[in-house]
Amino acid sequence: MDKLIITGGVPLAGEVAISGAKNAALPILCASLLTAEPLRVDNLPHLNDISTMLRLLAQMGVEVTLDGPAGLVLDAGGLNNPLAPYDLVKTMRASILVLGPLVARCGEARVSLPGGCAIGARPVDQHIKGLQAMGAEVTVEAGYVHAKAKRLKGARICTDMVTVTGTENLMMAAVLADGETIIENAAREPEVVDLANCLVAMGANISGAGTDVIRIRGVERLDGAAHRIMPDRIETGTYLCAAAATGGEVRLTQTSAAYLDAVVDKLMDAGCDIVTERDAIRLKAPQRLKAVSLRTAPYPAFPTDMQAQFMAINAVADGVATIRETIFENRFMHANELMRLGADIQIEGSNAIVRGVERLEGATVMATDLRASASLVIAGLVARGETTIDRIYHLDRGYERIEEKLAKLGARVRRAH
Ligand code: UD1
């Protein structure tokens, strides 16, 4: 299993390009299932989760052709097998995103219940409830969701909580339904908007994406289109944190601060200078950061996917920070690993109290989930001596060429097998 070995203590400096957003790319790849015409997607990140999704689509009969360094053409003209088997789904929860498009286009789908990060129970009841409201017959048997509907019907759906992939799945199901669907309590995440933009380019009739009420008027069929994936705001935030924690100065290109207000605000509170350009962000860190408390919540509030990285920066900041996680019930697994490096963290239910220490010391730690791994990388970059991060396959699910990008910023980091 691959490990990352980091020798800490180097302030990150220089420029690095941000990749396309994993969490926008995954639903957009699934949108190809909705049409028999080719969908061209650009700015795709090279990540294990993307490869898994492509394998999943290919075994359903989608033809995938490379088109340039970060582009693909997906042709679901020959879609013949609306099945997502356990083998492919088990490593990636986002596989559930094939459910809505498959029922909409094929009238039937069998999708294994998803796996993914071990950060909480993460059920898919809202996806199922929404499809049922649209007239699908849904059964869950032997670990598979089986959904059937001759043609889905427009419906008014109010999800019990804000769910990102739930909103995306139901939006994709609704674009081919008969009549109007209204999704209330919809997720407002920018990735939902990116998907909606792609669907609209394919001929869908959607309004309100980016607000908590999305209206979709179903159409008979969708066409092909070309779509460029938005920049990854979580990768952007992670590199900003890495620069902040190491006292560095970086410029991140091919990205935008537009979707990162909550994160940028906290970094400024911590004492960083941030300048936003049209397609880039610059950050200059102070000698020592100030502790910043935060609470995760659905967009536009502070993202749960940045919580672990802020735990790492608070570990070496001046003062005490309280971090409250409200989205996932088991998302503090990085705390124990950070403590192995000398961090002072106390967990009380869904609150973490982080007391900044003078310095962290290198050690061997284990990555437990995707964003937890990112926090360990940040801590390793700050710690004195060598930090070995085990099980970095989690990291490879969501960060493109992380060791290359960090090395470009001057970090001493290498991958070992
Ligand atoms: C997406 C993101 C993930 C991010 C999360 C929250 C993708 C591929 N992943 O995950 O990186 O951390 O949003 O911003 O976009 N829930 C239910 N029933 C459901 C659906 C959700 O109880 O049917 C609960 C979940 O357990 C969780 C909360 O709702 O507690 C939010 O989850 P959700 O927004 O669905 O997360 P994902 O879409 O899986």
Interval 332-387: pLDDT, tens:
999 999 999 999 999 999 999 999 999 999 999 998 888 889 999 999 999 999 99
* Residues 223, 29: Cα–Cα separation, whole Å: 15
For the chain, how many residues are written? 417
Q: Compute the distance from residue 163 Cα to the ligand 1 centre, in Å.
A: 5
Write down the pTM of the prediction.
0.97
For residue 191, the ligand 1 atom closest to its alpha carbon is: 15
* Catalytic residue status for 106: no
Contact status, residue 323 vs residue 294, Cβ threshold 8 Å: yes
Which residue among 95, 132, 161 is best mutated to probe the pocket of ligand 1, counting the most ligand atoms within 8 A of its Cβ?
161
User: Does the C-beta of 164 come closer than 6 Å to ligand 1?
Assistant: yes
What is the rounded average pLDDT of the residues 404-416? 97
Q: Are 355 and 344 in contact (CB under 8 A)?
A: yes
Write the pLDDT tens digit of every residue in 177-208: 999 999 999 999 999 999 999 999 999 999 99
pLDDT band at 117 (very low <50, low <70, confident <90, very high): very low
Of the candidates 117, 198, 241, 272, the residue annotated as catalytic is 117
Report yes or no: 141 and 115 within 8 Å, Cβ to Cβ. no
pLDDT average, residue stretch 139-147: 90
Angle between the 22-31 and 164-174 helix axes, to the nearest 10 degrees?
20
Which residue's CA lies nearest to atom 29 of ligand 1?
163
Alpha carbons 343 and 352: distance in angstroms, whole number: 12
Residue nearest to atom 24 of ligand 1 (CA): 122
Ligand 1 center–CA 327 separation, angstroms: 8
Q: What token pair was written down for 319?
A: 């003062």
